[in-house]
Amino acid sequence: EAGVVQSPRYKIIEKKQPVAFWCNPISGHNTLYWYRQNLGQGPELLIRYENEEAVDDSQLPKDRFSAERLKGVDSTLKIQPAELGDSAVYLCASSLVEGWLNEQFFGPGTRLTVL
């Protein structure tokens, strides 16, 4: 079974440029998470989807970040315009919610460098 796929793995852009990250979750997983992981820190949730619905986006900086999950499968996270402080690893995770059991499976992440 294929794991969570993310692309690109690395991205270098200049500040004020737009950037997009793509995530393909494990087949059948209805919940998808986007996290930001700063250097030396743990992941911080940006947004969580249940199917197509964003059920928790309280940590998403909505002035420059946007996300979508069309048809409840793939998801895209966008930053426009990027700032220097956005340099981080962006992780995608997915899970299948069955009652309380909710094990997350993570993708390899996208390392973003903003110059």
Partner 1 sequence: AQTVTQSQPEMSVQEAETVTLSCTYDTSESDYYLFWYKQPPSRQMILVIRQEAYKQQNATENRFSVNFQKAAKSFSLKISDSQLGDAAMYFCAYRGGTYKYIFGTGTRLKVLA
Query: What is the amino acid identity at position 99?
Result: G
The reply on whether position 109 binds partner 1 by CB under 8 A is yes
Residue 10 to residue 4: CA distance in whole angstroms: 16
Residues 44-63 that bind partner 1 (CB under 8 A): 44-45, 48, 56
Which of 22, 84, 40, 33 lies closest to 59 in space, CA to CA?
33
Specify the residue, 38 or 80, whose C-beta has the smaller distance to partner 1: 38
Could you list the residues that contact partner 1 (CB under 8 A)? 3, 31, 33, 40-45, 48, 56, 89, 91, 93, 97, 100, 102-104, 106-109, 111
